[in-house]
Amino acid sequence: MSKTLYLLKPGELTLKGGNRQSFEAVLRRNLAALLKGTGAQVSTTNGRFFVRCPEGSELQAEDALNHLVGISGWAKTRICEKEKPSVLAACVEEGRLLVSKGIKTFKVEARRTDKSFPLNSYEIECQAGDAICEAFPNLKVDVHEPEGIVSVEIREKAFIYGIANQGLRGLPVGTAGRGLLLLSGGIDSPVAGFMMACRGMSLEAVYFHAYPYTSNEARQKTVKLAEIVGRYSLGMRLFVINFTPLQMRIKERSPEEWRTVLLRMAMMDCAEKLAIRRGNKCLVSGESLSQVASQTIENITCTQSRVTLPVLRPLIGTNKEQIIGMAKKLGTYETSILPYEDCCVLFSPPHPILRGDPEEAWKLYEALECGDLIEEALRAKELERCGYPAKP
């Protein structure tokens, strides 16, 4: 059975020094996990990863590569002997593919690890470029802004590829500890989780609902979002916690304008307890500075005043338009805008406090006496496993 060869370029991990091998080992493990069931084989040589995929599994393998964090790019690759005629012929075939894609300009980029090859990198680029132009006169060389690039790598064999796909970059998932994502059914938190996965962080997630005031559809919407993010983070455990008794306590005992901030404080309090028990090292939130009343700097200070774990907010400096753009690329946007309300909007005051005082917030929170309710909510938590491998 013939096999298709893919060449993968590692991303940021190439900047690592003495611990680079450990990052590569994690990347290889993640790659093997994503390719499980495809029959593909993974190998590494001198800073490159190779995937040999059996015929018929290409779509599944390419979908896996598109969800692999830690590579700068990948390409379907030709392999040939390190002989000049074979290399130039392979370059011409890649030029043919560029033409079939409607590409008008190109350049050749060569890298020669094996110095015994008779042409140096510049000579390879010149002669391969000439061969492609001779075969396809309408294809012009543009070394500054080419529409396409034919890459040649002379290693233990010669590898030639023309249509390269951009990777997710970042660091392999699992190299930066594990955090607990506060996941809602909105647009922001799934993007925040994805961004932390791209920094190498493994993720678990917690979702607070207020059943029966919030619908089962709202819960399933969040499960779907966790599944999408989980395809990038190699799976995700989603803990579902019923916050209805907490919200009723807040409604009964607190000033109306403080309800949202106090709810956020209770969520952080509960999430931290769960995170510590699960061995997570931080909380991850989708907050963006001043996007809504609960996210002013004063109210963020109130919100996190109950926790000691680091609270990572990868979206803090972004605006809504940027977040929506990222959500569309991630594939969560269409799910996030489904019209099922989360518990955050339940009992939401018409005029929430904008600049809460942390000392006053602390006193109001203490007066809620919600410790037992949080413990009961944690005991009754439910688990959803949102995983991988990615489906074609």
Residue ranges of the binding site for ATP = 182-183, 207-208, 264, 286, 295
Query: What is the C-alpha separation between 127 and 89, in angstroms, rounded?
Result: 11
Query: What is the C-alpha separation between 376 and 364, in angstroms, rounded?
Result: 21
Q: H/E element holding 26?
A: helix 20-34
Q: Which two tokens stand for residue 354?
A: 């904008």
Contact in structure between 309 and 283 (CB atoms under 8 Å): yes
Starting at the earlier edge strand, list the strands of the sheet with 282-284: 311-312, 282-284, 178-182, 202-209, 236-242, 382-386
Residue pointed to by tokens 């977040």: 323
- In this structure, how many other beta carbons lie within 10 angstroms of the beta carbon of residue 312? 18
Contact in structure between 116 and 83 (CB atoms under 8 Å): no
- In this structure, how many other beta carbons lie within 10 angstroms of the beta carbon of residue 339? 7
Query: What is the C-alpha separation between 268 and 282, in angstroms, rounded?
Result: 11
Residue pointed to by tokens 């042409």: 119
